[in-house]
Structures are given as C-alpha cells and as structure tokens.
A = this chain, B = another copy of it.
Amino acid sequence: MKQLLAVDWGTTSLRGALLDGTGSVTHERSSANGLLNVRAGGFAEVLEAEFGDWLRVPGTLCLMAGMVGSKQGWQEAPYCASPAGLAEVAQHLTWIERTGRQISQRIAVVPGMSCENEGVPDVMRGEETQVFGALQLLGMQEGVFVLPGTHSKWVRVQAGRIEGLATFMTGEFYALLRQHSILARTLPAVDDELDGAAFDEGVALALRRGSLLGTAFSVRTLSLFARKSAQSLPSYLSGLVIGEELRAQSLGGVEHVVLIGSDTLTQRYARALAQCRVGAHSIGALATWRGLWAIAQTLESR
C-alpha cells in the first residue's frame, strides 16, 4: 500500500485523511456531506468530488468507517460479532465494486461491531475503529474505552480484542430533557460555559440515587425553591446525565479508562470519573485515522 485514504463517514459529516506509507497523516479534509446530505446512489460521486485527487494515485487503499456501512449508507457492511480483533475486522471488510469507473482503487467499508448482553443485542459503527486506533496509539492491549456522545459507547478490550460493548443514550437524553421536557421551561435558552460546581453536584446526586427518572426532577425543584441560578442548571443537568451513565457501570477494579472524543466532552467525563476515583486519559480524532491504518496494516500482512 502506497498510501491510505482514511474516511470517517457519519450521519452529518464526512471527514477524510491521507496517510503516507509510514502511517503519518499528511492531509485532512472535512465537509458537511454526511449521509443526510447524500442522495441515494450518490456516494461514489461524493467520495470522488471530495477526495478524487488522492484516490487517483495508484496503489491507494481507501477504508471507510462509520454510518456509511449502515442500511442508510453506501453499502451495508454486516456487523462483526464480538469478541473480535483487527484480524476479524480486516476479514469482514465489505469491498465496493467500482466496475466501469475511471478510479479503480480498492475501497472498502469497515464493519460495525455487535455483541449480546444477556440476550439483548448492542451495536456500534465507527467506534470499533477508534478503539483499535487508541490501542495502537497508546500501546495498550486491554482496558476500558469510553466514547462519549449522543449515544455513548463503553468498550471492553482484552488481549487486543474487543470483548464487548454497551451503549448509553446519554447525549440524546440530555438533548431531550434540555429541549422538549418540562425542564426546558426552567433552563435558559443558551448554555453558558460549564459551571463546574453545578456539574459536580449533578454528578454526585446521580451517583447517590437510583435513576435519572428521579434525579432529573431536581432541576425543577431546585429552581422552584431558588436554590440554584437558572444559568447553572444546564451544567447541573449535564452532571446528572453523565453521572447516571457512570453509576450504571461496574467500575469496581477499574482504575482508569481511555476517553475518545472531543475535548469538551472528554473533559466533562474525566471530571465526573474523578468523583468515582477513576483516572482517565483522553484521545481525539487521531484515533479514527490510526484505527483505519491498523486495519490496513492487518490487511496487508495477511
């Protein structure tokens, strides 16, 4: 492989990076051409428009992760069942047929990963690649990886393989409560910067109590009795939902986790985890590129 075009194609955005033969990122590009902005059958065209100059270099491999492999994406890439490592993922790539087109590079979609938790399935798409990247970047073979977001993923790794995962709809619950619930009337229209003390109080209550169904109502009552300023309430609510996510984990014996995501979110999670006496180090967007690079390497070495 001369070079790798690493693509992270999600619902709302399309990001790509060019990695040279040593795995170094030489260029990055991004656009709003996520799945929602691509017409049916238009994926090849969009890829070419965005990255045609890179793709045309002979010997380029293109690997794509994310929702591009879902039913709503370019081509469905069936989930790879966990436990699974890089070998299984490289084996289950979905190759895209591009007969009759000028560009004849090798293009594949990385499968998402599924698992069974007590008879109930769980899935992720894209996060598996980030975890493989983080493992390589940090030189780790095992650990707990947390990918905060609309749907947070907790991923357990042993011996370099993903053993299982669990999804928490934390970001989505925050948005629902923030925008559509009775609490929205109490909250200011715009979120200020994080109020650390209010956030910590929210985390603490969530860790003590049994359910967000109950703790969420405290946003209303604390406001009703003027015990908290309206400006501090979004931070408090953020603490409640993130604290709830932590409370639901089995963190006994876990001394630290790896957080993968944007600084804004990983900083909040690190702060909340500190209350559980769990350390955290954070890693950003590079994890995706490095994960796709690790899959490419596995592919080449077969």
Residue of B at shortest CB range from A249?
Answer: B210
Check: A29 CB closer than 8 A to any chain B CB: no
Is A35 close to B, CB under 8 A?
no
Q: Find chain B residues with CB under 8 A from A208 CB.
A: 118
Q: How far is the CB of A149 from chain B (nearest CB, A)?
A: 12
Contact pick for A210, options B172, B180, B227, B248, CB 8 Å: B248
**Chain A, range 206-221, C-beta contacts under 8 Å to B:** 208-214, 216-218, 221
- Other-chain residue from B176, B211, B216 in contact with A177 (beta carbon distance below 8 A): B176
- Give the complex CA separation of A98 and B139 in angstroms: 78
A211/B248 contact (C-beta < 8 A), A167-B217, A180-B180, A224-B123 known? yes
Contact (Cβ within 8 A) B180 A217: no
Q: Is A217 touching B248 in the complex (CB atoms < 8 A)?
A: no
The verdict on A296 contacting chain B, using a C-beta distance below 8 Å, is: no
Residues of A97-145 whose CB lies within 8 A of B: 118, 120-123
Within 8 A of B (CB), among A188-243: 205, 208-214, 216-218, 221-222, 224-225, 227, 241
The reply to whether the CB of A15 lies closer than 8 angstroms to some CB of chain B is no
Distance to closest chain B CB from A170 (angstroms): 6
**Which B residues are in CB contact (< 8 Å) with A213?**
168-170, 173, 212, 241, 244-245, 248
Contacts of A214 in B (CB 8 A): 166-169, 248
By beta carbon, the residue of chain B nearest A166 is B214
Chain B residue with Cβ nearest A209: B248
Q: With a CB–CB cut-off of 8 A, which chain B residues contact A244?
A: 211, 213
A264 vs chain B, min Cβ distance (A): 19
> What are the residues of chain B within 8 A of A290 when measuring CB–CB?
none
A204 CB to closest chain B CB (Å) equals 10
- The answer to the question of A181 belonging to the interface, with a C-beta cut-off of 8 Å to chain B, is yes
| Separation of A278 and B120 alpha carbons in the complex (Å) | 26
Complex CA distance for A37 and B122, rounded to whole angstroms: 45
The chain B residue with its CB closest to the CB of A172 is B181
| A182 touches B (CB below 8 Å) | yes
Does A256 sit at the interface, judged by CB under 8 A? no
Q: Chain B's nearest CB lies how many Å from the CB of A118?
A: 7
Write the chain B residue with the least CB distance to A216.
B169
Q: Is A211 in contact with B121, judged by CB distance below 8 angstroms?
A: no
Contacts of A166 in B (CB 8 A): 214
Q: What are the nearest 5 A-B pairs in CB distance?
A: A210-B248, A211-B248, A168-B213, A121-B221, A167-B217
* Contacts A/B (CB < 8 Å), 6 sampled: A122-B221, A151-B217, A168-B211, A169-B217, A172-B181, A211-B212
Extra A-B contacts (14), CB below 8 Å, given A121-B225, A211-B212, A213-B244 = A120-B221, A122-B221, A166-B214, A167-B217, A168-B211, A168-B217, A169-B181, A169-B216, A173-B213, A176-B180, A211-B244, A211-B247, A212-B213, A213-B245
